Chains A and B, each alone.
Chain A
Amino acid sequence: MENIILTSSSTTPYFPEVNFDFTSGVCEIKGESYMEETYKFYLPLINWIKEFTTDVKSKLELNIKLIYLNTSSTKCLLDILELLKDYEDKGGNVKVNWFYDQSDPDMIDEVEDFEAESGIKIKLIKFE
């Protein structure tokens, strides 16, 4: 299994920065997410989570630091959260943290909806 590291670029701000590290089990998605063909971007991340939760089976921490995501990205992120919920239900150790800008109250509603839809607990943390 390999790590996924995608860096951000000012010329393509619609792609988030991604760092999925299988040795530590810490996964981070950061920046903004509103690319075209959203599913093509997220599919390798979804497959990575599937592989981690079936083969590695150790503690997984997902840190989401997105200041904006379009509704297509929310669908893909929900797919990831549902996988993590399945993993948790099977005894996996999962932690999900959502870092948000306190001047953006709409994001809090969004996270509450993700919790309700996926069934997984999400810890809200204000950006430093």
Chain B
Amino acid sequence: MSYKTILSYKGPFYIELISVFGTNIRNLNDVYIDARKKLFKIFIELSQNVSNYSEDFHIVNNIQRIGVGELNVNETKDKYYFSTKNQVKKTDAEILAERCKLINSSEYNRLRELKREQRLNSPGEKFGARIGLIQAVMLSKNTLDFEVENINDTFSYFTLTVKIDKN
């Protein structure tokens, strides 16, 4: 299977960058328009997760927290692959891994229920809706691939990959 790199980035996930990258992905070419619309939505959602939750972050103007991480968008003949990688607390990596397993084992309608429950029960404000991973699976209709890589006693890297079928 031959992979072609569409985009690769490592650094702080500023909204301005995310927006430009996302818009370029959405408008890449005239084919697979529906798949690229889904890729755009998933790209924005998961990139903002890195920005909001990465344990490696910058503080801008003494207020705003901007997460640091990596992203990669690749394609094969029949799929787009979007990956994010960022630093998380070891304890959070375990929670995230369990959450991915639950989402991967749930049917579409169950995911829809989970999304509704989660959104209604989320505290809102700075915590958002906390349904980005569910949304990624509902949009792509593919399971999440994830990997936890040890850094030290406190932190791990969490890599998440979403596959989007072109047709």
Using an 8 Å CB-CB cutoff, how does the interface string of B130-144 with A read, 1 for contact, 0 for none? Answer: 111001001100000
Interface string of A64-108 (1 = CB under 8 A from B): 000010111011101100000000000000000000000110100
Proximity bits, B19-42, A CB within 8 Å = 1, else 0: 100010000000001100110110
Interchain CB contact under 8 A, B119 and A74:
yes
Whether a CB of chain B sits under 8 angstroms from the CB of A13 is yes
CB-based nearest A residue for B126: A39
Determine if A38 is an interface residue (Cβ-Cβ < 8 Å). Answer: yes
B128, A103: Cβ atoms under 8 Å? no
Which stretch of B1-9, B43-51, B147-155 is in the interface?
A: B43-51
Q: Which residues of B contact A104 (CB under 8 A)?
A: 37
Q: Which of B34, B125, B135 contacts A71 (CB 8 A)?
A: B135
**Which of A19-27, A29-37, A52-60 participates in binding chain B?**
A29-37
In the complex, are the beta carbons of A36 and B132 less than 8 A apart?
no
Q: Is the CB of A75 within 8 A of B128?
A: yes
User: With an 8 A cutoff between CB atoms, is A116 at the interface?
Assistant: yes
A14 in the interface, Cβ–Cβ < 8 Å?
Answer: yes
CB distance A117 to B116 under 8 Å?
A: yes
Contact A71 B129 (CB under 8 A): yes
Confirm or deny: B115 has a beta carbon within 8 angstroms of a beta carbon on chain A.
yes
User: In the bound complex, do residue B15 and residue A36 qualify as a contact, i.e. CB atoms below 8 Å apart?
Assistant: yes
Q: Is the CB of B48 within 8 A of A72?
A: yes
A13 near B48: Cβ-Cβ < 8 Å? no
Complex partner residue of A72 from B116, B120, B129, B139, CB under 8 angstroms: B129
| Chain A residues within an 8 Å CB radius of B112 | 109, 113
Residues of B within 8 A of A117 (CB): 116, 119-120
* B120-A71 in contact (CB<8A): no
Chain B residues closer than 8 Å to A68, beta-carbon distance: 40-41, 44
- Could you tell me the distance in whole angstroms from the C-beta of B66 to the nearest C-beta in chain A? 9
Q: Are A13 and B44 in contact (CB under 8 A)?
A: no
A72 and B128 contact, CB distance less than 8 A: yes
Q: With A104-B37, A113-B112 in contact, do A71 and B131 touch (Cβ < 8 Å)?
A: yes
Is A71's CB under 8 angstroms from B116's CB? Answer: no
The answer to whether A70 and B44 have CB atoms under 8 Å apart is yes
Please tell me which one of the listed residues B23, B125, B126 contacts residue A13 in the complex, with CB atoms under 8 A apart: B23
Q: Which residue of A lies closest to B115 (CB)?
A: A113
Interface residues of B (CB under 8 A from A): 15, 19, 23, 33-34, 37-38, 40-41, 44-45, 48, 51, 64, 112, 115-116, 119-120, 122, 124-126, 128-132, 135, 138-139
Offer 7 A-B interface pairs, CB within 8 angstroms, sorted by A: A14-B19, A34-B19, A39-B124, A39-B126, A70-B44, A75-B124, A113-B116
